[in-house]
Chain A
Amino acid sequence: MPQEIERQYKEILKQYVTRQTEQNLYAGQNFSRQLIQKNIAPDEVISIHKVALEEAFPELPMVVWNSFDLLIEMMIRYGLAHAEHQSLLKKQEELKVEMDLAANVQSTLLKTTVPQVDGLEIGLVSVPARNMNGDYIYFLSDNLNNAGVAVSDVIGKGIPAALCMSMIKYGMDSLQDAATDPKKVLDVINRIVEKSVDDDMFISMFYGRYNVEESIFTYATAGHEPALYYNAKQGEFSELHAKGLLLGVVANVSYEQHAVTMETGDFVVMMTDGVTECRTDEGFIEPEIIMSLIHSLRDETAQTIVDTVFKELEKMQNFELRDDFTLVIFKKTS
Chain B
Amino acid sequence: MGYRSSVEILTEWDIVAARQLGRNEAKEVGFGTVDQARITTAISELARNIYLYAGKGKIEIERISEGGKFGITIIASDEGPGIPDVRKVMEDGFSTSGGLGAGMPGVKRLMDNFKIDTVVGEGTVIKATKWIR
Contacts and interface: CB of A to CB of B under 8 A. Distances in A.
Interface of A: 43-44, 47, 50, 69, 72-73, 76-77, 80-81, 83-84, 87-88, 91
Given A43-B38, A76-B110, 18 more contacts: A43-B37, A47-B33, A47-B34, A69-B33, A73-B41, A76-B34, A77-B41, A77-B101, A77-B106, A80-B109, A80-B110, A83-B109, A84-B93, A84-B96, A84-B105, A84-B109, A87-B105, A91-B92
A80 B102 CA distance: 7
Given A76-B41, A77-B41, A87-B92, A47 B106 contact: no
A88 B97 CA distance: 12
Contact of A76 (B32, B38, B105): B38
Contact of B34 (A43, A81, A83, A91): A43
B92 A76 contact: no
B92 A73 contact: no
B32 A47 contact: yes
Contacts of B33: 47, 50, 69, 72
A84 B101 CA distance: 12
Contact of B92 (A47, A50, A88): A88
Interface string B65-98: 0000000000000000000000000001100100
Contacts of B38: 43, 76
Main secondary structure of the interface of B (DSSP, over half): helix
Main secondary structure of the interface of A (DSSP, over half): helix
Contact of A77 (B34, B93, B102): B102
Interface in B34-54: 34, 37-38, 40-41
B90 to A, nearest CB: 12
Interface residues of B, number: 16
Interface of B: 32-34, 37-38, 40-41, 92-93, 96, 101-102, 105-106, 109-110
A84 B92 contact: yes
Contacts of B37: 43, 69, 72-73, 76
B65 to A, nearest CB: 23
Contacts of A69: 33, 37
A68 to B, nearest CB: 8
Contact of A84 (B40, B41, B106): B106
A121 to B, nearest CB: 52
Contacts of B92: 84, 87-88, 91
Which 6 pairs show the lowest CB-CB distances between chains A and B?
A47-B34, A80-B106, A76-B41, A80-B102, A73-B37, A84-B92
A47 B101 CA distance: 22
21 contacts: A43-B34, A43-B37, A47-B32, A47-B34, A69-B37, A72-B34, A72-B37, A73-B40, A73-B41, A76-B37, A76-B38, A76-B110, A77-B41, A77-B106, A80-B41, A80-B102, A83-B109, A84-B96, A84-B106, A84-B109, A91-B92
Of the candidates B34, B37, B105, the one having the most CB atoms from chain A within 10 angstroms of its own CB is B34
Nearest to B106: A80
A81 B41 contact: no
Nearest to A88: B92
Contacts of B41: 73, 76-77, 80
A77 B102 CA distance: 7
A92 to B, nearest CB: 11
A80 B38 CA distance: 10
A35 to B, nearest CB: 14
B20 to A, nearest CB: 13
A40 to B, nearest CB: 11
Contacts of A84: 92-93, 96, 105-106, 109
A84 B92 CA distance: 6
A88 B91 CA distance: 10
A83 B92 CA distance: 10
B93 to A, nearest CB: 6
B109 A81 contact: no
A263 B26 CA distance: 89
